[in-house]
Amino acid sequence: MTCADCLSEPGLLLALNGADERLQLALGRIAPGGLDDGGGDESVAPLAAQEWTVPGSAVRFLAPGIRQVLDSLGLAARDIRRIACVVGPGSFTGLRMSLALAQGLAAGTDAELAGLNHLELLACEAAQCSGEASGQGAAQGAGQGGGQGGGSVAALVWSRRGQVYAQAFSGGGDQALPLGPAQVLALAALPEFLAALPRPVRLLGGGLRRNLPFFEELAGRDPGLRLLPALWDAPRPSALLDLASRAAYGLQALEPVYLRASDAEDNLAAIAAGRGLDAVEAQAVLDRGSRAV
C-alpha cells in the first residue's frame, strides 16, 4: 500500500485508545489550515486504522503497529503533528502504556497532545448511530420509543470488584453532551443512577457486557432501558478519529483519569510486607514515583 498524496501540510493526526480490551490506533491527514488554533471541528481525512484484542499487552503491539502503518503509507513519525490519546477511565495498565507512548512520541516529534474521555468516546458513536442500532435490532424493545435521537446514553466501562465507570450523555444530535460527571459506581447503585436519566436509556460498553445478567434483569423490570449488543462495547476507529478531530490540543502532559485507587494501592501494605518494607516506607516510594516531573 502506498500513499503518494497522504501528506500535505500541516501533517498527520494520530489517535490512540488503550483503555479497554480492544487496543486501537487511527491515523488521519489534517486538512490545510487545521493547525491554526488549538483544535475544534477541524477536517481530518482518515488514512488507516489498526485494532488488536490484546488485554494488558499494549506495549507489545502499539509502537510496532504505528511504525507498520506509517511505513506502509511511506510516511514517518516526524509527519505526526497532533496526537490524541484516551486518558481513561479504563484499564490501568493499558492507559499507562498508551499514554507513555503518546507522550514519548510527542517529545520526539514536537507534536501537540490532547486527552480523550473513554466514556464520551463510547457515547458519541451511540448518539450518532442510534438509528442504525435500532434498525439492526440492536436495542431491546426497538420500536418502543428507542428510535434515533432523544433519550440518553449510559456509557459503562468495567472497573472490577462489582463496579463500573459510568457517565450519562444526551442521546440526540451529532455529539453526546454530558449529563453529569464520570464516576465509579457499585452495581447496586446503578438502578438509582439510571432511573434519573431521560428515557429511553441506551446502555453500552464493557461494563454492560461483563455484568450482562445483572443488566438483563434490570431491563426486565424497566422497559425504558435498551441494552446495546457487543458490537458497541468498543468504538470504531472512525469514531476515535472523529472525537480526536474535535479535541483541544496543546503542549501539556496528559494525565490519566483513573477515578479509583488501583489494586496495588489498595493492597499496598500486603505488597510491602512481602518485599520487607513497612507500609509507611512503601507509601513514600509510591508517592515519589507518582510525583509529576
Q: For the segment 172-222, what is each residue's pLDDT rounded down to a tens digit?
A: 656 789 999 999 999 999 999 999 999 999 999 999 999 999 999 999 999
| % of the chain beyond a pLDDT of 70 | 75
Whole-number pLDDT of residue 268: 45
Whole-number pLDDT of residue 152: 94
Q: Inform me whether the pLDDT recorded for 45 exceeds 50.
A: yes
Per the CATH hierarchy, to which homologous superfamily does domain 120-232 belong?
ATPase, nucleotide binding domain (3.30.420.40)
Q: What is the pLDDT of residues 64-84, one digit of tens each?
A: 999 999 999 999 999 999 999
Mean pLDDT of all residues in 267-283: 62
> Do 123 and 177 form a contact (C-beta atoms < 8 A)?
no
Q: Which CATH class is domain 12-119+236-261?
A: alpha beta
Whole-number pLDDT of residue 195: 97
What is this structure's pTM? 0.82
Higher pLDDT, 281 or 141: 281
Whole-number pLDDT of residue 73: 96
Q: Which of 3-12, 159-168, 202-211 has the lowest mean pLDDT?
A: 3-12
Closest alpha carbon to 105 in 66, 54, 50: 66
User: What is the band of 138 on the pLDDT scale with cuts at 50, 70, 90?
Assistant: very low
Q: What DSSP string describes 148-187?
A: SSSSEEEEEEE-STTEEEEEEEE-SSSSPPBSS--EEEEG
Mean pLDDT of all residues in 39-43: 64
Instruction: Report DSSP state, residue 48.
Output: E
Whole-number pLDDT of residue 123: 94
Mean pLDDT of all residues in 147-162: 84
User: What is the band of 100 on the pLDDT scale with cuts at 50, 70, 90?
Assistant: very high
Element holding 221 (H helix, E strand): helix 212-221
Q: Inform me whether the pLDDT recorded for 36 exceeds 70.
A: no
Q: Inform me whether the pLDDT recorded for 140 exceeds 80.
A: no
> Do 187 and 211 form a contact (C-beta atoms < 8 A)?
yes
Q: Inform me whether the pLDDT recorded for 292 exceeds 80.
A: no
User: What is the band of 35 on the pLDDT scale with cuts at 50, 70, 90?
Assistant: low
Query: How far apart are the C-alpha atoms of 120 and 175, rounded to whole Å?
Result: 9
Mean pLDDT of all residues in 23-29: 96
- Would the CATH topology of 12-119+236-261 be identical to that of 120-232? yes
User: Which cell numbers hold the place of 235?
Assistant: 468504538
CA distances from 167 to 111, 122, 280 (A): 30, 10, 35
* Residue 179, C-beta contacts closer than 8 angstroms, at least 6 positions apart: 152, 168, 169, 170, 197
List the domain boundaries for the chain: 12-119+236-261, 120-232, 262-286
